[in-house]
Structure 1
Amino acid sequence: MTDAATTGQTPQRDYYQALYQAALTISSSLDLDQVLQSVVISITKAMQVKACGLRLLDKESGLLHLSAVYGLSENYLSKGPVDVVHSPIDHEALHGSPVSIHDVRIDPRFMYPEAARQEGLISVLCVPLEVRGEAIGVMRVYTNTPVDFHEDDIQFLSVLASLAALAIENARLYESVKSSYHGVMNAFWGAPNVF
């Protein structure tokens, strides 16, 4: 994606820098929202794309809820829900396969082609967020010019999605441990004497 002739750097060097930055952020903060926002910004800049978004799966409703985004307008974000049943791109990604669409305005796998047209979106790359082999969401990048994503792009986005999934899992575990700790402490110090 990066034009080496204009930047003087290879795409891999930009990708390595973004990967390093994301790893530092993930390892130095317990604020999940801040971590995920930093990751989508790093991806957008490193891949030189229009936007990046991360959605988490609500297994009960089948909806993908937006958790972090960079580069998309409020108008586009309010286009409607992303339901896995009606979104072949997300359905395929949630089953473990990266999905690349050259032109979302005409590809039937994309749920909101008119909204994409109004937003100026053309190509999209979508990869799964997985924790221990289970998909918990998706990460997408969007371009405003036609792009054929290369294997380096897919690998880079997949690695960052894995790091984001790890950050999400760590945050959930931390909250669970914190909640258990407070429950035990409240029971220990606050429970009435039953003896």
Structure 2
Amino acid sequence: MSSHDKIDLDIYRFILETVTSSSSLDVMSNQVIQLLIGSMKIKGATFFVLNALEGELEIVATQGLSVDYVNKGPILVDKSIQRPSNRETVIISDTHVSDQLQYPEKAKHEGIRSIVSLPINVKGKTIGALRLYHSEVWQITPLEKNLLESLALNLGMALKYFRLLTTVESMKDTLAEVHPVWL
């Protein structure tokens, strides 16, 4: 780990252990956000899931950001942190000189100087995003980028798992209502 890296293999492993041992999406996402902010010493982080019907990213967990910033308006997939493909990591090292933000004035007022937006993809389909916010200009290193992209892949698998678990539990509850003897 270079002296500039905000994340290393030990931190990554600890966060992954949290992902794999969590009992629910809410618990997992809140713990991951807290660990990222604390270990990387960044301003804040947000974990989003995609609402495909509305074309919006919806917050699952966030920390380190003001209520005003969090409630600034809808995070539209085709306008928020613009990129030709929403399946790519977007690194905005300095928000003061970027034209990629949907709400640039809100970011400036919030004291956000850099943003790393990591898509959460499963089988080539975007299902969410992880965003990291820093109050300083941040030149992300190749190691940081690789570890964060790997974390986003794991968050995608975890999100898929929790969705499947919710579906199975719902089916189990329905069966219990219809045929209580079966369960």
TM class by shorter chain equals 0.7 to 0.9
Q: Is structure 2 residue 142 aligned with structure 1 residue 146?
A: no
1:35 Cα deviation from its structure 2 partner: 0.5
Structure holding more helix per residue: 1
Structure 2 counterparts to residues 45-84 of structure 1, below 5 A: 45-84=38-77
1:109 Cα deviation from its structure 2 partner: 1.0
* Equivalent-residue separation in structure 1 for 2:98 and 2:130 (angstroms): 19
Q: Is structure 2 residue 124 aligned with structure 1 residue 133?
A: yes
**Letter of the structure 2 residue corresponding to residue 76 of structure 1:** Y
* Equivalent-residue separation in structure 1 for 2:20 and 2:104 (angstroms): 37
State whether residues 25 and 162 of structure 2, in contact with CA within 8 Å, keep that contact through their aligned partners in structure 1: yes
State whether residues 43 and 135 of structure 2, in contact with CA within 8 Å, keep that contact through their aligned partners in structure 1: yes
* Equivalent-residue separation in structure 1 for 2:89 and 2:22 (angstroms): 28
**Letter of the structure 2 residue corresponding to residue 98 of structure 1:** T
**Letter of the structure 2 residue corresponding to residue 52 of structure 1:** A
1:147 Cα deviation from its structure 2 partner: 1.6
Segments of structure 2 that go 5 or more residues without pairing to the other structure are none
Moved segments of 4+, more than 4 Å: none
1:115 alignment counterpart? 106
Q: TM-score, normalised by structure 1?
A: 0.83
Helix, strand or coil: the match of 2:96? Answer: coil
1:169 Cα deviation from its structure 2 partner: 1.1
Q: TM-score, normalised by structure 2?
A: 0.88
Q: Is structure 2 residue 80 aligned with structure 1 residue 87?
A: yes
Q: Is structure 2 residue 13 aligned with structure 1 residue 17?
A: no
Segment of structure 1 superposing worse, 163-172 or 181-190: 181-190
State whether residues 80 and 101 of structure 2, in contact with CA within 8 Å, keep that contact through their aligned partners in structure 1: yes
User: Which residue, out of 30, 34, 41, partners 1:37?
Assistant: 30
Helix, strand or coil: the match of 1:85? Answer: coil
* Equivalent-residue separation in structure 1 for 2:128 and 2:71 (angstroms): 19
Segments of structure 1 that go 5 or more residues without pairing to the other structure are 5-9, 191-195
Q: Give the percent of matched residue pairs that are identical in Structure 1 and Structure 2.
A: 25
